Chain A
Amino acid sequence: MKTKLLLVVAASLAGAIFISVEGGPFDALKNALSSGSTPAPSQSQTDTFNAVGQMFKGAAGIGPEEEKKIGDSVALEIVGKYGGLIHDAVVLRRVNLVGRALARYSARPELNWRFGVLNSDTVNAFSAPDGWVFITRGLLATATNDDALAGILGHEIAHVTGRHALKIVEGTTFMSGLAGLAAARSNDVRTVNAQLQQFDLGIGKIASTILENGYSQPVEYEADHFGHDLAKVTGYAGGGLRSVLVLLRQRGGDPKKTFSTHPPLNDRIKRLPDEPATSPQ
């Protein structure tokens, strides 16, 4: 008789350890999250960072209000780059019901979860802070059943609950831009402009990680792992995500159009348990 019950623990629980922690391995992971390939700011931008950033340096973590501002802005970048959203109520309903079923048992069940379909034939999925999740039309076409769709969405939910995008800017001078925007009543035009510039640079850094460079491979594998567990605890087949990845590998095609911001398909498949791809009816 089973005396133990396996259950998902969302990445955010462990991930939140990083909040307000400086130095040591935490900084190493934080740097790895951003892939370290964001273009360096110009000297004038650096000066702006230093001058304005010092005003608020040391401010603590990113709370819900700040997360909304960041999440909305990053979502704008995702939708802007990937062809806009498909306005199909039937498709949207399916994606949102599966997504919100998963989100209910995630580590952040009461976020304002929203799931959209990007009008792009590339094969990819993205998420932004505060519960934004997007899947491309190309990837959705491969998710022929809800178990597969749950595997894909579970992975993206794990990025949100793990605060992976927020960790890219947490503890940086970007926070001063946020704090400044919250109280943008200054008559000093230069200060306001500097704060806006910082905000835009911070959003740009997150967007370039999500849309161009991708998170580090360990972070992606972690999202695969937590997404798999979340799908299972919700009642979907544990092999849903793996089945999609295997299908994509069989199809071949242009790697630049297939999960280009994620680790190689073979590596992801190897790390996921070989379980049934569909749940019993």
Chain B
Amino acid sequence: MKTNVPATLRIALLLGLLGATSVVAFEAGGFAYTKRVETNALSEPRPLAPAAGKFGFRRKLKVEQVQGSWLRVSDGPVAGWVFAGNLAEAMPPEIKGTDGLPLTASQTTASAAARPLTPEAEAYATRRNLGQARNDLNWLQYQCKTFTAADVDAYLKAQKKGEFQ
């Protein structure tokens, strides 16, 4: 059934709902969700602690304990510590392809390897006379490939950011 609520008001209400979920409180007894293909459950609340187990993608975890920026979480028999920034308050959405079928975790999140521009974008650059922009983006892709996850780890550690705060 259609209502006569003005579009602007509907937008404001909707964004209000979105905003309300933007900052959340994790607390013992609540739940958190994984957002990576694999999330390590650490044996202690520190970044370099040994892993006690692993959680898969889109898993609902019970929050057992909160200690600073770290949460002790469990999923059945697997339990351990996870930095809060590595978890989400709500389950990540299930992504569907153009065929309407849900994509697997590996299809949705494990595709971050450096790659050239897609053939469709290459053809688009040709049609739109964006050859120089294409060269620039290919250069950027190449440069970004040289920044590894280890570089980011070292930066976080040196700057005391993320898990290293």
Q: Which residues of A contact B (CB under 8 A)?
A: 3-17, 19-20, 24-26, 28-29, 31-32, 56, 59-66, 68-69, 72-73, 75-77, 79-80, 84-85, 87, 89, 92-93, 96-97, 100-101, 104-105, 107-116, 131, 146, 175, 178-179, 181-182, 196, 199-200, 203, 216, 218, 221-222, 225-226, 229, 233-236
A-facing mask of B75-103, CB < 8 A → 1, else 0?
Answer: 00000000011111111110111111101
Give Cα distance in the complex from A221 to B15, angstroms. Answer: 10
Is there an interface contact between B89 and A7, defined as CB atoms closer than 8 Å?
A: yes
Is there an interface contact between A64 and B22, defined as CB atoms closer than 8 Å?
A: no
| Residue among B111, B134, B137 having the largest count of chain A Cβ atoms under 10 Å | B137
Partner of A218, one of B12, B66, B68, B156: B12
Residues on the B chain within 8 Å of A9, using CB:
21-24, 88-90
Distance in Å: Cβ of A120 to nearest Cβ of chain B: 13
Is there an interface contact between B143 and A89, defined as CB atoms closer than 8 Å?
A: yes
A-facing mask of B105-149, CB < 8 A → 1, else 0?
Answer: 001111111110110110111011010111011011101100100
Is there an interface contact between B113 and A112, defined as CB atoms closer than 8 Å?
A: yes
User: Is the CB of B50 closer than 8 A to any CB of chain A?
Assistant: no
User: Is the CB of B52 closer than 8 A to any CB of chain A?
Assistant: no
Give Cα distance in the complex from A96 to B26, angstroms. Answer: 30
Give Cα distance in the complex from A104 to B36, angstroms. Answer: 10
Is there an interface contact between B93 and A13, defined as CB atoms closer than 8 Å?
A: yes
Beyond A72-B117, A196-B123, list 12 extra A-B contacts (CB 8 Å).
Answer: A11-B18, A12-B92, A25-B14, A32-B7, A72-B120, A76-B117, A76-B130, A112-B114, A181-B120, A222-B15, A225-B22, A235-B160
Is there an interface contact between A101 and B128, defined as CB atoms closer than 8 Å?
A: no
Residues on the A chain within 8 Å of B26, using CB:
4-5, 7
Residues on the A chain within 8 Å of B95, using CB:
16, 19, 61, 63-64
